[in-house]
Amino acid sequence: MNYQIEPLQNEDWPQVRSIYAESISTGVASFDTKPPNWRDWDSCRLSSCRFVAREGKNVFGWATLSPVSSTWGYIGVAEVSVHVSQEKQRQGIGLALLKALLAASEKQKYWTVTAEIISENAASLTLHRKCGFREVGFREKLGHRQGKWHDVILLERRSKKTGGHGLPTRKCK
């Protein structure tokens, strides 16, 4: 497969939404029960750190950062989301997306990137650990979805490049 990691464009939304719907259907990738509309999705993600894996006009995965808080003290800390279409999983796309996202986050001076992963999502836990994330917490029965409680693993990655010095070039919304 010959794909490129590129910045996400507004016109990618239908395919991004479809991939997110697939992820939601697994029951272990999100507590959402359906994908949001464009305005809601767009408003809670940083515009500077959004990528897709693309081959031609086809999008196979996406990765974004969201602010963890609107409080000034948390500027420089963001939460990651990575989703890959089911047909293209286990082909290195998630790894390529996450690496591109982390590189971009460091250019924007984010020094901590976090992830909250449902404990049954072994593939996502493995992916994040490959990229230097470490477990910093465990939250028992944090989320409820379709009649079942799920534990959540908290992960974080501290940048060795930014080291917490300076501020991101864009303020969180």
Task: Indicate the domain borders of the chain.
Answer: 4-158
Instruction: Please state the pTM of the whole predicted model.
Output: 0.90
Q: Each residue of 115-151: pLDDT tens digit?
A: 999 999 999 999 999 999 999 999 999 988 888 899 9
* 8-63 pLDDT tens trace: 999 999 999 999 999 999 888 998 889 999 999 999 999 889 999 999 999 999 99
Q: What is the pLDDT of residue 171?
A: 42
Q: Which fold has domain 4-158?
A: Aminopeptidase (3.40.630)
pLDDT digits (tens, 9 = 90+) for 68-122: 988 888 888 999 999 999 999 999 999 999 999 999 999 999 999 999 999 999 9
Average pLDDT, the chain: 91
3-class SS letters over the chain: CCCEEEECCHHHHHHHHHHHHHHHHCCCCCCCCCCCCHHHHHHCCCCCCEEEEEECCEEEEEEEEEECCCCHHHCCEEEEEEEECHHHCCCCHHHHHHHHHHHHHHHCCCCEEEEEEECCCHHHHHHHHHCCCEEEEEEEEEEEECCEEEEEEEEEEECCCCCCCCCCCCCCC
